[in-house]
């Protein structure tokens, strides 16, 4: 069964069809949590029976509604990190706890119990700088630094935990009375989605019934929050209203809508809060579908009394409340206490790993299209770069290079001699990247499929057979990368004797690994599909692509016997994906607003641990006008991952196809990238070793300058270069914010005098501009270089 033409581009229209995807009102666990929390259920901590071990402090909490105990564990971790785990005391079966993301056995710090009253417990490390103040009734945790409460947990009473239940049939025979959410009588169970949930024609049958969890966090004095990629949104997180939340659920969204909180290709459940003098973060380690609500109450002044000529006032500082909700798993959360942005980056990387050090070639320019037609097409495009004196390092091939969309194969007519093609690229010190997706064509004569099926390496359906869905090859099965044996086997497929036609200049692109299933619910895999360990897909959906990138990177390392660093680009990702390579922002559109939104999207990825990131230059979907294409090259030249890419139904757009003047401007932009390569390579070494991101929002470099906190149209590349891309058409003037300086030097025409204060405007020599000016680059002493 082949994929239809409409399925080949997911959505014919350039605007995403949002009826394919769910909003909060259609998500059952969201509705249940909102309904039950409106009844103000509370938990009480049983602090008269606290267990203290070398690495943790444990106690029980009990809900007034269910009377069923939960086990709370508090850990002190090196580098000023606290870990909080909440799980059922005696679940019917183990609940899913996310493996493989945390880098290694964490170094724990012994927590000391300080004096507290009968209704509280105070824990601190030996230094005593940070205290964890646990209140019993109602259960609440305050994180205190130097006698100031920085962060509170469950201060709004939104802790929510659904206990695993015996399925209906077993319950009827056993007479079991497992607790269910209040008011979940048989009549309204369908509406609450306890055992079945319907979306369109799809029915999600839940073997264990409801299992969602939730918890609130209050950041005291903080109103600027960042993180939780991936969304096509501003860098600073926005307030969410009723029925609105940031969704973390990896989805194949073609031509995603901008300024929208719907989930797209990747999920990092990690949020940073920043204010003058302090940065903190919360890492919510859960791989199931997750929703995040945010509400900021700004600082206000209250009039207390009217005495004499002036009113006495008391200032109430701002507070931001964040409510996390996940469909399943346990509550496993890390509290990162900073205090500086750099400290936060080090703390997070100590948990999930640092950015992999990329090979130098991967920091150059990449040329891609769906699809370069054949070997002759590749040869001609490669020669075009030489003819027009434009540097590039990597040629890419999309799915059409394979035989009938069978990965690890070559189309025998189009790419009859792939080694010869690679040797041509090698002769010019260039590389090749080819695509390898997680779906495997159902074809007994296809060796990869036959071997995987024989060994039981595919995700299963609830009945125990191989899960099958439609993707590029037609009917496909999906490798279960959560299984270590599958990852080991998949890694072996990249060995030169196995991957016929491959050489040591061939590297890999993992796409469609959300995973994408064209005729599945929300174009992805059914949640009751079954993985290794008998875990349902709902438990680990967001980590599926992470595992494919892990296995691919390991395969390339093994291929070279550990002598060469791999390059792997993945569309889907999770916390810790930075250890395995690069990601990009997916199927963007050739419009100015997509160029503009790419900057905050990449900044958000960067502060969330993933420094090696970029956006398709020119826009994947549609045909960019020449001015937009030039502007995108100028912006992309200063972004960590620099690739031009376009979908199959667009006009060809190699850099020399728009006339000599535009060719010259694109050539200059790409050459500027190569001028910066030593600096970029040094920045990647820095992020690999010490975790400070390559692409930095201004607030990271200027953490006490409030004016920088909401800026996301310019950024620092390392600590020495300010970049302000031009993202509007027909620009003849650009205003650039210069932080951290009372006096700057700038030039217009030949030179300006001194300019004050922190913002400056420059004009083009011509009325049309600006195409002559690249993204404005400003050195650390704020000397402006205008080209």
Nearest to 700 by CA among 713, 718, 679: 718
- Active-site annotation holder among 88, 197, 393, 511: 511
The residue from 142, 393, 514, 616 that is catalytic is 514
Which are the contacts of 784, defined by CB distance < 8 A and separation ≥ 6?
Answer: 744, 745, 746, 747, 762, 776, 778
Q: Under a CB-based contact definition with an 8 Å cutoff, are residues 278 and 339 in contact?
A: yes
Q: Residue 139: which residues within 8 A CB-CB, separation 6 or more?
A: 42, 43, 44, 45, 61, 154, 159
Examine the residue annotation and report whether 125 is marked as an active-site residue of this protein: no
Neighbours of 657 (CB within 10 A): 13
Radius of gyration of the chain (CA): 27
Tokens of 389: 């004196």
Residue pair 262/247 in contact (Cβ under 8 Å)? The answer is yes
Gap between the Cα atoms of 322 and 643, Å rounded:
36
d(CA 331, CA 335) in angstroms, rounded, equals: 13
Contact by Cβ (8 Å): 44, 137: yes
In 317-370, the DSSP E strands lie at 319-326, 331-336, 365-367
CA angle (713, 718, 722) in 5-degree steps: 40
Q: Is 97 a catalytic residue?
A: no
Residues 399 and 382: their CA atoms lie apart, in Å, by: 19
Q: Measured between alpha carbons, how far is 739 from 758 in angstroms, rounded to an integer?
A: 6
> Which among 21, 328, 30, 40 has a CA at the least distance from the CA of 191?
30
In b/e form, how buried is each residue of 27-48, taking b as 16+ CB within 10 angstroms? bbbbbbbbbbbeeebbbbbebe
Residue 459 in tokens:
């995700």
Catalytic position from the list 88, 587, 654, 714: 587
Q: In degrees to the nearest 10, what's the CA dihedral of 555, 557, 558, 561?
A: 160
Q: Identify how many contiguous H helices and E strands the chain contains and give both numbers.
A: 15, 45
Burial class (CB in 10 A: 0-12, 13-18, 19+), 783: exposed
The arrangement of strands across the sheet holding 715-717 comes to: 695-696, 715-717, 721-724, 776-779, 784-785
What tokens were used for 749? 């025409």
Q: Confirm whether 514 is a catalytic residue.
A: yes
Per 3-state DSSP, the chain is made up of helix, strand and coil in percentages (nearest 5) of 25, 30, 45
Residue 310 has a CB neighbour count (10 Å cut-off) of: 7
- Which whole-number Å values give the CA distances from 65 to 28, 42, 45, 84, 181, in the listed order? 20, 8, 14, 23, 9
DSSP SS3 for 685: helix
Residues forming the active site: 511, 514, 587
């Amino acid at each position: 069964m082949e994929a239809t033409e409409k399925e080949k581009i997911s959505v014919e229209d350039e605007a995403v069809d949002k009826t394919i995807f769910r909003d909060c009102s259609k998500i059952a666990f969201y509705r249940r949590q909102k309904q039950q929390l409106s009844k103000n259920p509370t938990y009480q901590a049983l602090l008269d029976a606290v267990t203290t071990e070398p690495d943790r402090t444990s106690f029980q909490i009990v809900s007034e509604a269910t009377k069923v105990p939960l086990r709370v564990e508090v850990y002190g971790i090196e580098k000023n990190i606290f870990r909080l785990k909440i799980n059922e005391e005696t679940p019917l079966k183990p609940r899913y706890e996310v493996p493989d993301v945390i880098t290694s056995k964490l170094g724990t710090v012994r927590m000391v119990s300080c004096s507290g009253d009968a209704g509280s417990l105070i824990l601190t490390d030996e230094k005593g700088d940070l205290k964890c103040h646990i209140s019993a009734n109602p259960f609440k945790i305050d994180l205190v630094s130097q006698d100031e409460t920085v962060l509170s947990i469950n201060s709004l009473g939104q802790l929510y935990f659904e206990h695993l239940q015996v399925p209906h049939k077993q319950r009827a025979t056993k007479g079991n009375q497992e607790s269910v959410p209040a008011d979940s009588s048989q009549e309204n169970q369908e509406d609450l989605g306890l055992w079945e949930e319907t979306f369109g024609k799809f029915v999600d049958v839940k073997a264990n019934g409801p299992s969602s969890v939730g918890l609130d966090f209050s950041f005291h004095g903080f109103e600027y929050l960042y993180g939780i990629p991936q969304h096509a949104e501003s860098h600073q997180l926005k307030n969410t209203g009723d029925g609105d939340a940031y969704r973390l659920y990896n989805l194949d969204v073609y031509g995603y809508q901008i300024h929208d909180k719907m989930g797209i290709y990747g999920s990092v459940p990690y949020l940073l809060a920043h204010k003058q003098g302090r940065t903190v973060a919360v890492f919510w380690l859960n791989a199931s579908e997750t929703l995040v609500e945010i509400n900021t109450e700004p600082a206000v002044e209250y009039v207390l009394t009217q005495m004499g000529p002036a009113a006495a006032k008391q200032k109430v500082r701002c507070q931001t409340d964040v409510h996390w909700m996940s469909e399943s798993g346990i509550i496993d959360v890390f509290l990162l206490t900073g205090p500086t942005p750099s400290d936060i980056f080090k703390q997070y990387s100590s948990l999930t790993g640092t950015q992999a050090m990329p090979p130098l070639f991967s920091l150059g320019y990449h040329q891609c299209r769906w699809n370069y037609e054949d070997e002759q097409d590749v040869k001609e495009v490669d020669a075009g770069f030489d003819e027009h004196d434009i540097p590039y390092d990597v040629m890419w091939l999309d799915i059409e290079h394979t035989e009938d969309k069978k990965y690890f194969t070559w189309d025998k007519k189009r790419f009859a001699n792939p080694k010869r093609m690679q040797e041509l690229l090698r002769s010019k010190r260039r590389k090749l990247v080819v695509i390898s997706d997680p779906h495997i064509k159902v074809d007994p004569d296809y060796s990869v499929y036959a071997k995987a099926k024989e060994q039981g390496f595919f995700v299963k359906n609830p009945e125990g057979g191989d899960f099958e869905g439609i993707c590029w090859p037609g009917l496909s099965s999906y490798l279960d990368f959560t299984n270590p044996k599958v990852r080991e086997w998949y890694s072996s497929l990249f060995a030169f004797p196995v991957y016929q036609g491959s050489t040591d200049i061939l590297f890999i692109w993992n796409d469609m690994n959300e995973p994408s299933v064209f005729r599945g619910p929300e174009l992805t895999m059914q949640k009751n599909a079954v993985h290794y360990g008998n875990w349902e897909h709902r438990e680990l959906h967001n980590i599926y692509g992470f595992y494919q990138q892990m296995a691919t990177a390991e395969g390339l390392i093994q291929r070279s016997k550990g002598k060469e660093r791999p390059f792997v680009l993945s569309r889907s990702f999770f916390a810790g994906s930075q250890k395995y390579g690069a990601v990009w922002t997916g199927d963007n559109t050739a419009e100015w607003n997509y160029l503009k939104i790419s900057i905050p999207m990449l900044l958000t990825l960067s502060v969330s641990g993933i420094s090696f990131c970029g956006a398709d230059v020119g826009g994947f979907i549609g045909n960019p006008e020449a001015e937009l294409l030039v502007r995108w090259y100028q912006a992309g030249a200063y972004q960590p991952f620099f690739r031009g890419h376009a979908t199959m139904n667009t006009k060809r757009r190699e850099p020399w196809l728009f006339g000599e003047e535009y060719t010259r401007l694109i050539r200059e932009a790409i050459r500027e990238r190569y001028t910066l390569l030593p600096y970029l390579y040094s920045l990647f070494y820095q992020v690999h070793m010490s975790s400070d991101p390559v692409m930095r929002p201004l607030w990271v470099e200027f953490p006490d300058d409030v004016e920088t906190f909401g800026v996301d149209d310019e950024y620092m590349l390392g600590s020495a270069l300010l970049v302000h891309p031009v993202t509007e058409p027909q620009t003849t003037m650009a205003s650039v914010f210069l932080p951290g300086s009372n006096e700057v030097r700038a030039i217009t025409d030949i030179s300006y005098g001194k300019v004050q204060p922190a913002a400056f405007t420059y004009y083009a020599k011509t009325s049309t501009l600006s195409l002559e000016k690249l993204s404005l680059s400003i050195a650390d002493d704020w000397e402006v270089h205008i080209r």
